[in-house]
Chain A
Amino acid sequence: MHIVVCIKQVPDSAQIRVHPVTNTIMRQGVPTIINPYDLFSLEEALRLRDRIGAKVTVLTMGPKMAETALRKALSLGADRAILLTDRRFAGSDTLATSFALASAIGKIAETEPVDMVFCGKQTIDGDTAQVGPGIARRLGLQQLTYIARIDSVDPAGREIVVQRRAEGGVQVLRTALPCMVTMLEGSNTIRFGTMPDMFRAARAVIEEWDAAAAGIEDVMKCGLRGSPTVVKRVFAPKPNAKKAEQIEVEGKSAEDIALAAIDTLFAARPSLADDMLRQAAE
C-alpha cells in the first residue's frame, strides 16, 4: 500500500489580526500550522500503515517555508515528504491547485503506484473543500468525503468499506481502490511523534519539485493563469450603524432588569410576544 496525504500549511487564523485603519491583514509574526483538518487524515493514514502496512508520503504545494509543515508531518511518522514549489503556482485557485497536486501525485505514482490519497475535509484559510474532489476527479479516484470511519481496507482485493456522514445518518459505502478520502474532524486524534521520528525529521532532506519535476507541461493551467476565479475586492464587513439599545441596569436588581428586558422585547416585537404567549398557553 502506498498512501499520499496532501497537507497545506496555513496561517494560524486564531492569531490573524486585521489592521484597524487600512483593513489589511497583518501577517507578520503570525505562526503557521498544518491545516488542522489535514491532521485527521494524516493520522488515519498512519493508522492504516500500523494496521495493514503502508508507506505514507506527504505532499504539499506552497512556498519554500511550507517545508516546515512537511518536517512536522515527518516527525509525526510520515515516511517521505515532497514540496511542490514553483513561482508559476502562485495565485492558484482550487482548480489550479488540484491540477498541480494531481500532476504531482501522478508523477509519484510512476515510480510507486498510489492506492489512496488523503486530503483534509477543508482548509481553514481557503475553506472550500474543493481541492480533494478536484484531485479525485482528475486522477479518476473513487471519491469518499466526510468519512467518519474506515471499516476495512483490503489492499489485495482492492476494496475499502467506509462510513460517510450524510444528512440524518451515515452511509456505509464499499468501493474500489484507488480512492481519495477526506476524514471528518474528531474521527481520531493525532499521535505524538516518537523521538526517532523527530530526529529523522530534523535531519531529513525535503524533496523539492518544480512544475517540470511534477510532469507539468501545460503551465497555463497553473497559478493565476490557470485559475478561472478572480478576486475582485477584499473588504471589511461594514459595521452596523446602530448599536444595541441598552436595558437600564443602574441600581436595579437582576429580577427587575430581566422584567424590563422582557417588557422592552415584547413592546418592540408584539408578534414575538404573541407567538411566545400562544406557545406557552398550549
Chain B
Amino acid sequence: MSEQKQPASRASLKAKLDEKLLAYQGVWVFIELERGQVHSVSWELIGEGRKLADAQGVELSGVLVGPSGETTRAAAQDAFAYGADNVYLVEDPLLADYRNEPYTQVLTKLVNKYKPEILLLGATNLGRDLAGSVATTLATGLTADCTELAIDMEGRSLAATRPTFGGSLLCTIHTLNFRPQMATVRPRVMAMPERQEGRGGRIIEDGIDMAESSIITKVLDFIPDRDTNKSQLAYADIVVAGGMGLGKAENYALVQELAAVLGAETGGSRPLVQKGWLTADRQIGQTGKTIRPKLYIAAGISGAIQHRVGVEGADTILAINTDPNAPIFDFAHYGIVGDALKILPALTAAFRKRLAVNRLAS
C-alpha cells in the first residue's frame, strides 16, 4: 500500500463504473478449511459479509474449497447457518492440503465465472498467501488487514478501513474501477455471528482444471505443533496481560497467578516479546493477536494505539497503571491507579476469596 496518494485523474477514479464491471454482483467470503477445520475468521467474515450484502440488497456467498467428503459438506451447512445464501463448492482430493497453485486456480476461475463484486478473506497465513496471488492474477485492488468495512452508497464501492503509519492513523481505501474489490480482515476483528440452525442455502458445485502431475509443489508432511500449552488467547473469555510496568521478567508470574485463579489466558504488550519475557504468540495488539474477551485485565500497559486496536473488542477492560494520565484509561472501562506489583497479588487473593465463597455456598 502506498502512503501518500494524491487523487489524480486516472482510470480508477472515473465517476461511473465501466459497463463491463456492472456484471459484478454480490459479496463473497472465502471459507478457510484447513485439515478438516474451518478457521473461525471465515464465520466472522460471513457475519460481516451479511451486513455488506444487506446494505446493497445482494446475496452473500461462501466459497468452499477442500477435499471431497463429509467435513467439506458439513462446512457448507455451517456457512448457511451463519448467514450465507449460497456456497460455491469445489471438492477434490487435490485440494486436501492448502497449496497456492491449485487454490489460486480455483478461486480465480470462480471469480471470473460468477463475478462477485466483493471478495473477503481472512488475514491468516493462508488467506494472505492466497489473496495476494488471486488479486495479482485478476489485476484488481486488495486492501489488507481491514478493521472496518462499509459500503459507500454513493459509488456502491467498498470502503475498507485499516491502520496505517505504524498504526497511529487509520485510512479508508477504495477500489474504484476494478472488480472484485478484495479485502482481508484479521481474526477476531469482527464479531462472531449468531448461528441459525436449520437455515439452508444453495450449493453451486464447480471443479478444478488441474491434475496432480501439473501441480509443482508437493506436501511431503505436516508436523502438528507439539506445544499443548499453545495459547488460545484470541478466543479466551478472560485475558490477563502485563506490560513494561511490571519492571522485570520475574514479575510476569504475578500475571500468571491471577490468570490461574480466573482460568484466564495470559498475554502482554509488544516490548515484553521483544525483551524475550513472552513468546510472540502471546503478544496482543496490531502486530500480535486481536482479542475479544468478556474481561481484559491490563497491568502496567500504557495503552499505545497499537495495543489498543487489539483489545477494543473486549466487553470489559480493567486497567492498572501508576500513571493516572496513561492513555489506557481513555478506553478502559474501569481503572485502578496503583502499583501493579501490589494490585495484582491483591486481586489474585480477592478473586480467590470471592470465588471460593460461592463454592461453599453452592
| A contact set with B: CB distance below 8 Å | 11, 13-14, 16, 18, 23, 25, 91-95, 97-98, 124-134, 136-138, 142-143, 145-146, 161, 163, 165-176, 185-186, 224-225, 227-237, 239-240, 243-247, 249, 253-255, 257-259, 261-262, 264-266, 268-269, 272, 275-277, 279-281
CB atoms of A130 and B329 under 8 A apart:
no
CB distance from B1 to the nearest CB of A (A): 4
Which chain B residue has the least Cβ–Cβ distance from A259? B350
Q: How many residues of chain B are within 8 Å of chain A by beta carbon? A: 109
CB atoms of B222 and A229 under 8 A apart:
no
CB atoms of B334 and A280 under 8 A apart:
no
CB atoms of A261 and B2 under 8 A apart:
no
Which chain A residue has the least Cβ–Cβ distance from B140? A228
CB atoms of A231 and B171 under 8 A apart:
yes
CB distance from A248 to the nearest CB of B (A): 10
Question: Which of B37, B104, B356 is in CB contact (< 8 Å) with A280?
Answer: B356
Q: Beyond A94-B142, A232-B159: 9 further Cβ-contacts under 8 Å?
A: A93-B5, A93-B141, A95-B136, A170-B225, A171-B221, A230-B173, A244-B329, A244-B330, A276-B355
B156 at the interface (CB under 8 A from A): no
Interface centre among A163, A167, A176 (most CB of B within 10 A): A167
Total cross-chain contacts (CB, 8 A): 307
- Residues of B within 8 Å of A127, CB to CB, are 1, 144-145, 163
| B contact set with A: CB distance below 8 Å | 1-8, 10-13, 34-35, 37, 39, 97-101, 104, 124-126, 128-129, 131-133, 135-137, 139-145, 159, 163-178, 216-225, 237-238, 262-263, 280, 294-295, 305, 308-309, 315-319, 324, 328-338, 342-343, 345-347, 349-351, 353-356, 358-359, 362
CB atoms of A262 and B351 under 8 A apart:
yes
- Say whether, besides A127-B144, A143-B133, A173-B219, A224 and B5 are in contact (CB < 8 Å): yes
Distance in angstroms between the alpha carbons of A101 and B85 in the assembled complex: 40
- Residues of A within 8 Å of B173, CB to CB, are 229-232
- Say whether, besides A92-B2, A125-B166, A168-B224, A174 and B334 are in contact (CB < 8 Å): no
Question: Which of A138, A233, A266 is in CB contact (< 8 Å) with B171?
Answer: A233
- Say whether, besides A143-B133, A229-B174, A244-B332, A172 and B222 are in contact (CB < 8 Å): yes
Distance in angstroms between the alpha carbons of A129 and B280 in the assembled complex: 18
- Residues of A within 8 Å of B142, CB to CB, are 94-95, 128, 130, 229
CB atoms of B2 and A272 under 8 A apart:
no
Task: In the A-B complex, list the 7 residue pairs whose CB atoms are closest, starting with the nearest.
Answer: A133-B132, A13-B166, A228-B141, A244-B335, A280-B355, A258-B346, A254-B346
CB distance from A163 to the nearest CB of B (A): 7
- 22 inter-chain pairs at a CB distance below 8 angstroms, sorted by A residue, are A13-B166, A92-B2, A125-B166, A126-B3, A129-B144, A130-B132, A172-B223, A175-B217, A225-B11, A228-B139, A228-B141, A229-B173, A230-B5, A230-B7, A230-B173, A230-B175, A244-B335, A245-B334, A257-B336, A259-B350, A268-B316, A281-B359
